[in-house]
Amino acid sequence: MIPKKPKGSPRSYTADAIKAASHPTRQAILKRLQKGDCSTVELEEITGENRYNLYHHLSVLEQVGLVGSRLLGKVKEFFLKKPRKPETAFIQLERNDPEEREQLERLLEVVEELLPDEVPHLKKATRARLMLSFPWSDSDE
């Protein structure tokens, strides 16, 4: 989820967050952080990225407000930002993840029911990414 928007239009801010969250390495980072806070060392193991590349990806996620970090002694720990009034929420579901398979199937059933002719080959979808925007995103609060 995304906290307060930086300078610029809400549209460009949302586009930046979508772009940041769309990279496969960043998706792996976000998916892991959904389960809880995580150190750089753990994220290196999960992503297979070297420290330099990993910090680049984490920096991109921090710049758009999806991820935060804190130092715990000499260890840097990362976490998902969960603001009370998010600008946008991203949901990722993958068929090859046993914990998400049923949720993806249910989502696809709803999409098929609501938009029966809009998405070809819907039953063959392997992942879904859903973005939600909130009414206060466009206000000056």
Domain ranges of the chain: 10-80, 88-138
Q: How many C-beta neighbours within 10 Å does residue 21 have?
A: 21
pLDDT digits (tens, 9 = 90+) for 99-120: 899 999 999 999 999 998 888 8
Query: In terms of DSSP H, where are the helices of the chain?
Result: 10-22, 24-34, 40-47, 51-63, 101-114
pLDDT of residue 131: 77
CATH class of 10-80: mainly alpha
What confidence tier does 14 reach under pLDDT thresholds 50, 70, 90? low
Q: Is the pLDDT of residue 132 over 90?
A: no
Look at 87 and 30; give whichever has higher pLDDT. Answer: 30
pLDDT of residue 38: 95
